[in-house]
Structure 1
């Protein structure tokens, strides 16, 4: 384990960092927990500023960090709470656009090094889209260093005026434990029977039921799959605001699709699946589901958005976003070609082995911290 030797060699006390998280999507929340654990293990003092619900979900205190409740951005007290929490910090690291903007306001007038990580791109339509662009420019110009989880995000930060933007080595914690092969073989028929896919192909999608996830395109593609024999079953695991709308479409159009609700057994679902699909319409950075599918050796069909091509390499089939026909055709080809499915199954773990580990992620972040807090030589 890498010690914080550079600070010790300069006679400094233990580095004190503040990590700032907003509501936190699954990727950023898991990353901050992983980062906090790695930093604490290396002797860094870590305070995580986040809503109390985020600490309940990710247990920052359980890995040795201090947690300070900071309300969500809609709360007028959040900037004042952040300013107090960041007092005396050697460095502040914010995650996500809204958390970064509040942090920039809280650090105004201070010389504290300020690192920002963009885990994904914020999206909006109409006047709000312009507002988000203003926030992006304000954040990147205030940041000492911007870390982007994809090349596209790094380029966007540079175009927005970042002084220093770099590609981040970001690893989510290891995928949810997949069952061992013997257990997977035993679970597969049981899970397929529960879902209603005993003698038919099983297609799995996982993610919140939101417009940006592209589930409308997935349902459109399911029309084509009704012509196959046997007809595949599509299972969507997740919850969200589109549940009622999707359910009505499934019933009215008699689609072979089942909404399974939120599931804690995604590894079991993947172990039972023939194909996984990621039909996102908007940019995905480092999709947790895509990572789990490749780790689990499940052939993946995904839209060519954001950081997905970088993430999956040649270990998945990529299709244009918003193109239900291309999605339907790609899945159909896989279902009809066992050899291609096996090839992608073999490529998945090999591609996963190229992703940065948690240890490498912490090491890179710590090197940035060291660079920004190292005492400057006297001139």
Structure 2
């Protein structure tokens, strides 16, 4: 990301912020890394509180931030560690519900402003759903500002009692919204051969193997593709609690699906894919959908959550949970090269409407300025 450093206003102390992550899913962790780099470039002191493994993966220190290891929420010492790390901060910015709740507890009795960004919301039923709603209410009432990455998250925060909830500009880290089509990837044939997709369509899905991602529906849809010639291969990159269940179905039903586990080469997988699949029951600001459109790979997705708001008419959208509609959309798209090319072009145009990393940092910094106008003079 290219940024221009902003000098500290004359007579004003350097702004010090603390960014708080919980377990840190890929989207929020990448966002914090990008945000940290942009803030540091503008003269802001940034401390990132996150588990050590998150710093190993996202290198917050390499972005110029100080990293402080704070255990996950299941660790009873996490709030005390966070309270110590936030001492002396001008403001605290927490990302995600559990991180925000711990930040609120850590700041209890202090006048340090709390900003919260919601990147998604957890789906649950019964007692757990009630517990999560209580957490949401506690968090939004403690926050000076709640930033939601999608309009439905903003509405959710307002419904929970937020004093100030706004739509967040969230740029896709490492990308430019006006990116030009890339040259064909020379590694594409090698990647496809390694996956067993030489001479056949490669369909890619990426995400944790849990109920929300809708992989059971994807497997239902894959049964319909067995009649195609050549037979498409579905590659799923990700790990999660449903792996054993999904693998058993794949083997018992002889489905053309491979579970790849965790991968650090998603960009290479995208470059090798013919279609990207997003069968989720709910999504917020899907990183995979953004990556697919940037990479000019046609996307078939469910119209769940904020996906329609994000992709517009640049993807094939079907109702969530409808395996038949999902299967038909894939078959139709595989047989229509003109439609695929149209979606590639529409994808780039849609991506050009998304915020850039610089715009993301500028919005966040404007919120910080609002909340710290009366910081002490040097």
Aligned equivalent of 1:218 = 218
Stretch deviating more after TM superposition (77-86 or 17-26)? 77-86
Distance 1:35 1:287 in 2: 18
Distance 1:26 1:178 in 2: 25
What does residue range 90-129 of structure 1 map to in structure 2 within 5 Å? 90-129=90-129
Paired residue secondary structure (1:181):
coil
Q: Per the alignment, do residues 209 and 47 of structure 1 end up closer, same or farther by CA in structure 2, a change over 3 Å counting?
A: same
Paired residue secondary structure (2:187):
helix
Aligned equivalent of 2:327 = 328
Aligned equivalent of 2:188 = 188
Q: Per the alignment, do residues 188 and 79 of structure 1 end up closer, same or farther by CA in structure 2, a change over 3 Å counting?
A: closer
Aligned equivalent of 1:8 = 9
Matched, 1:368 2:376: no
Distance 2:76 2:208 in 1: 28
CA contact (8 A) 1:213 1:279 kept: yes
1:269, distance to aligned residue in structure 2 (A)? 2.0
CA contact (8 A) 1:175 1:291 kept: no
CA contact (8 A) 1:2 1:363 kept: no
1:306, distance to aligned residue in structure 2 (A)? 1.9
CA contact (8 A) 1:23 1:50 kept: yes
Aligned equivalent of 2:290 = 291
Aligned equivalent of 1:312 = 311
Aligned equivalent of 2:273 = 273
CA contact (8 A) 2:172 2:290 kept: no
Paired residue secondary structure (2:9):
helix
Paired residue secondary structure (1:110):
coil
1:178, distance to aligned residue in structure 2 (A)? 11
Normalising to structure 2: TM-score of the pair? 0.94
Stretch deviating more after TM superposition (347-356 or 21-30)? 347-356
How many residues align? The count is 371
CA contact (8 A) 2:181 2:295 kept: no
Q: Per the alignment, do residues 189 and 71 of structure 1 end up closer, same or farther by CA in structure 2, a change over 3 Å counting?
A: closer
Matched, 1:358 2:360: no
Q: Per the alignment, do residues 58 and 189 of structure 1 end up closer, same or farther by CA in structure 2, a change over 3 Å counting?
A: closer
CA contact (8 A) 1:179 1:268 kept: no
1:359, distance to aligned residue in structure 2 (A)? 0.8
Q: Per the alignment, do residues 31 and 101 of structure 1 end up closer, same or farther by CA in structure 2, a change over 3 Å counting?
A: same
Matched, 1:35 2:35: yes
What does residue range 54-69 of structure 1 map to in structure 2 within 5 Å? 54-69=54-69
Distance 1:121 1:321 in 2: 17
Render the CA deviation track for 1:68-118: whole Å, top value 9, x for unaligned. Answer: 111111122111121121111111111100110111111112111110000
Stretch deviating more after TM superposition (232-241 or 321-330)? 232-241
The gaps in structure 2 that reach 5 residues or longer are none
Distance 1:267 1:318 in 2: 23
CA contact (8 A) 2:123 2:212 kept: no
Distance 1:67 1:333 in 2: 49
Matched, 1:241 2:221: no
Distance 2:86 2:287 in 1: 30
Distance 2:29 2:106 in 1: 21
CA contact (8 A) 2:39 2:45 kept: yes
Distance 1:199 1:62 in 2: 42
Distance 2:194 2:56 in 1: 31
1:3, distance to aligned residue in structure 2 (A)? 4.6
Normalising to structure 1: TM-score of the pair? 0.93
Aligned equivalent of 1:165 = 165
Distance 2:6 2:91 in 1: 15
Paired residue secondary structure (2:374):
coil
Matched, 1:264 2:284: no
1:143, distance to aligned residue in structure 2 (A)? 0.3
Stretch deviating more after TM superposition (144-153 or 201-210)? 201-210
Distance 2:108 2:247 in 1: 48
1:180, distance to aligned residue in structure 2 (A)? 4.8
Distance 1:317 1:107 in 2: 45
- List, as ranges, runs of 4+ consecutive aligned residues in structure 1 with deviation greater than 6 Å: 176-179
Distance 1:243 1:106 in 2: 36
Stretch deviating more after TM superposition (284-293 or 153-162)? 284-293
1:312, distance to aligned residue in structure 2 (A)? 1.0
Distance 1:253 1:225 in 2: 13
